[in-house]
Structure 1
Amino acid sequence: MADYYTPGEVSERFGMSLDTLRYYEREGLLTEVERGPSGHRRYRGGDVELLDLVRCLRDTDMPIARLREFAELVRDGDHTVPTRVDVLEEHDARLTERIGELRRRQDAIRHKIEYYKGVLAERGAELEETR
């Protein structure tokens, strides 16, 4: 792993815009980003690892405020690991509930698809009879 990453490298790696990356910085989801001798922002390996987890949690609908709390726990050190586990377990439980809800809705959609296919099949049969 490289010692430092440019904003462009990080945004490309995670498929996000530079604006999104800056937003995550402003929201306190990353540690204060270092500046190189030229004044350009650069990210440490730890920043990239945290961003990977932040993206995972955000992509699974963890609110920004909760993400900020989690990032602060990470920055506060290993003594916060039990609290981090609690946060992740709570999020996992909400995610499991949401997945169940989505599966129920998918079942309803699939049922409706089958119903409409049946309607189309009946119409097709009726058209064949009239020919």
Structure 2
Amino acid sequence: MYLTIHDVAKRTGLTTYTLRYYAKEGLFDFVTRSSNKIGTRLFKESDLEFIYLIKCLKNAGLTIKEIKTFVDWTMAGDATISKRRAMFQERRTALQKQLAELQATLDVVDYKCWYYQVADDAGTCAVHDTLADDELPEKMRRVKHQLAAQHNFTAD
């Protein structure tokens, strides 16, 4: 049984526009086409796994050109295994760095939520001038000191 582009869109969460764009860029060269004049793409269930992988690669920050290279390597077979592995290792390293940066950003946002909650409860931001370091929750103390060290300012 074959799936239409609309079926694939529903199953993958990608729009038909995105799927057609990916097809135009050569990302679906592995998909069977009908023999009619139009050459309609006939997606199989097994094609969905690869489409999910393409979606993952896009979400991981690869460009269409980089994804096309990966698709080409995959279609070339086992001779490109080391290239594909290296690509995933590089992407994992980049994503780990992004995650660390996002965690640091989230820590600051958490700090500011805490900061303004305390200030709101007291009716003034000046309440923070009266708090000793040991009165701050450990995580908030750490973030406050990191902010001060990075920017050489008080963390208002």
Distance 2:44 2:68 in 1: 19
Is 1:67–2:62 an aligned residue pair? no
Distance 2:53 2:30 in 1: 17
- Give SS of 1:115's match: helix
Shift of residue 32 of structure 1?
Answer: 5.3
Instruction: Please give the TM-score of this superposition, normalised by the length of structure 2.
Output: 0.71
- Give SS of 2:123's match: helix
**Greater relative CO, 1 or 2 (CA 8 Å, sep 6+):** 1
Shift of residue 78 of structure 1?
Answer: 1.6
CA RMSD across the alignment: 1.8
> Which range moved further: 33-42 or 76-85?
33-42
Aligned to 2:139: none
Distance 1:21 1:57 in 2: 14
Is 1:22–2:20 an aligned residue pair? yes
1:2-44 CA distance string (max 9 Å, x none): x532111111110111100011111122215433355432123
> Which range moved further: 90-99 or 26-35?
26-35
Amino acid at match of 2:111: H
Aligned to 1:58: 58
Amino acid at match of 1:20: T
Amino acid at match of 1:108: V
> Which range moved further: 19-28 or 58-67?
58-67
Instruction: Please give the TM-score of this superposition, normalised by the length of structure 1.
Output: 0.84
> Which range moved further: 58-67 or 39-48?
39-48
What are the ranges of 5 or more consecutive residues in structure 1 without an aligned counterpart? Answer: 125-131
> Which range moved further: 93-102 or 40-49?
40-49
What are the ranges of 5 or more consecutive residues in structure 2 without an aligned counterpart? Answer: 125-156
Shift of residue 45 of structure 1?
Answer: 4.2
1:43-85 CA distance string (max 9 Å, x none): 2345322211111111122222211111111111121111100
